[in-house]
Structure 1
Amino acid sequence: MRVSTRFSDSIHILAFIEIYKNIRLSSEVIASSVETSPVVVRRLMSVLREHGLIDTKQGSVEPKLARKPKDITLLDIYFATEGNKPLFELDKKTNPECIVGGNIQEVLGDYYEQAKIAAQRKLNDTTLQDLIETILVKEKAKQSTK
């Protein structure tokens, strides 16, 4: 099973829109950074627009964030792109007559729920602004070594 990159690609798109807000940002330009097709970028941007994270005008190459980056959390982006999908899936077909098979779902389910809540708390505590600032610091460090 292939792991979805919709979440990370959506964060990438939002950061790109903010960092390059002063240039014309076609889906082709954004797609070149994400290294995906413009169609994928347009689909993700449509989802982000539906969830109030970006503003776009049809036929225009001027997408803008709908809110300030400090007001967009990574959890907002996660819910927009992935919904409330579970982070982990339990195997529901185990042998109930076995010590492990008869208990693993409940026990592992509790741990999975704790991990999900911890991940969501971290995503909720991290803003798009935090991410953009870190990107810019890392780029500055790269430039200083050249």
Structure 2
Amino acid sequence: MRYSYKLSDAVHILAYLEIFADEDHSSVAISKSINSNPSLVRSLMSDLRKANLIETKQGLADTKLTRDPADISLYDVFQAIEMNHDLLHVDPKTNMNCQVGSRIQGVLDQQYRAVEEAAFEKMKSISLKEIIDGIVNK
């Protein structure tokens, strides 16, 4: 199974921008913190800019959050990044000639939607400020 770290990396970028507000905000500097490559950082920053979570100045490594970290939720960041936003996935290739295989997709889909709704509600209650406080106060 392959995992996406886009959400983690996007939150990392936002926390970096706030914690190091007066430092170098280039994709190279941020990529060193994430231990990734600058092109990934630029791609995520583009997503964050399109979602109006950050503002950038072309040609300058001067990026800022558009609002207070207390007003940015984990869900806001999740919605901002370009990725599949389903948390859970049902196997679409089950045997339709089997009682279980023919019915499990619909049953699981309904249950998975309930789990996702609960997760999204929790994500809405977690602010970037809480995450930053956890980083700074450790």
TM-score (norm 2): 0.93
Query: 2:58 & 2:94 partners in 1: Cα distance?
Result: 50
1:74 alignment counterpart: 74
Residues 117 and 82 of structure 1, relative CA distance in 2, 3 Å threshold: farther
Contact 1:7 1:82 in 2 (8 A): no
Task: Report the equivalent of 1:130.
Answer: 130
Kindly provide the CA deviation profile for residues 7-57 of structure 1, in whole angstroms up to 9, marking residues without a partner as x. Answer: 110000000000000222211111100001111111111111111000110
Aligned length: 138
Shift of 1:82: 4.0
Say which SS state the counterpart of residue 62 (structure 2) adopts: coil
Distance 2:60 2:72 in 1: 23
Aligned-CA RMSD value: 1.4
Q: Give structure 2 stretches of 5+ with no counterpart.
A: none
- Structure 2 distance, partners of 1:26, 1:61, is 5
- Counterparts of 1:1-146 in structure 2, within 5 Å, are 1-82=1-82, 85-138=85-138
Residues 27 and 41 of structure 2 are in contact (CA less than 8 Å); yes or no, is this contact kept in structure 1?
A: yes
Structure 1 counterpart of 2:32, one-letter code? S
Which whole-Å deviations, capped at 9, do the CAs of 1:57-93 have from their partners, x for residues lacking one?
0111111001110111010000111466211221122
Range with bigger deviation, 112-121 or 86-95: 86-95
> Which one has the bigger strand percentage?
2
1:136 Cα deviation (Å)? 1.3
SS in 2 for 1:103: helix
Contact 1:73 1:127 in 2 (8 A): yes
SS at match of 1:75: helix
